[in-house]
Amino acid sequence: MDRPGQTTHFGFRDVPVGDKQTLVNDVFHSVARRYDLMNDLMSAGLHRVWKDIAINLLNPPRGETPFALLDVAGGTGDIAFRAAEAAGPGFRATVCDINSDMLEVGRARAATRQLDDRVSFVEGNAEALAFASGAFDAYTIAFGIRNVPRIDLALAEAFRVLKPGGRFLCLEFSTVDVPGLDRIYDLFSFKVIPPLGRAVTGDADSYQYLVESIRKFPKPDAFAGMIRAAGFSRVNWQSLSGGIVALHSGWRL
């Protein structure tokens, strides 16, 4: 239960914890149809490389071995599709997202790719997953955890739904650590991305929030500490593209 007066970040604004999810939902309802196009434009296609690195690290089995992936906040299916294409016939993925518009896009993409028999889509909240404990071999979340109001609850749920020996992987925007690149990145983030969002989706405010939310997310070491606090072992992380993105890993042992 939320404490009276408890707040969290919505971009650079402090808002009541209970209000953040509604605000985030409005963002993704607004941008769902052009979400993947905007990812390509904002990252110059690098998001595809980052996701491929995550799938290589996940290394789903290529044979008949059953393997169940839960991809949270993955509404349009990018991570699940990549994993399915890398894996063998024993692989199944469940995409769980709180936003119905994002899921609708994902289901359409799955049908187009003829992956709808291996990738299913479920509406749900990362903080209170409607899945049995120990149901999954792996849990992934890509560029979604910073939008969760109570990150500690989402991490606890990730730990709960994983089998012993299951793996947690999180891709998230991070803190640029290359001198000079940090200034260029800030300029691009705040001066280019919101106007680009307006031109492509008709919505600059949502992209203003998204770039602000990156700056408020914990630094990699601090986030690794949160993952450990949720119970995960062998927690580590790697910096990608000069710190634009961090890939965190942990195991339920």
* Domains of the chain by start residue, with CATH: 7-251 (3.40.50.150)
Choice between 2 and 206, residue whose per-residue pLDDT is larger: 206
Q: How confident is the model at residue 137 (pLDDT cuts 50, 70, 90)?
A: very high
Q: What is the pLDDT of residues 169-182, one digit of tens each?
A: 999 989 888 888 88
Flag whether pLDDT at 11 surpasses 50.
Answer: yes
The mean per-residue pLDDT over the stretch 205-218 comes to: 83
Structure confidence by residue, pLDDT tens digits, 151-167: 999 999 999 999 999 99
CB proximity list for 154: less than 8 A, separation 6 or greater? 72, 126, 127, 141, 145, 148
Tell me the average pLDDT across 34-55. 84
Using a 10 angstrom Cβ sphere, with 0-12 exposed, 13-18 middle and 19 or more buried, the burial of residue 164 is exposed
What pTM was estimated for this model as a whole?
0.86
Does residue 234 or residue 187 have the better pLDDT?
234
Place of tokens 């998230």: 172
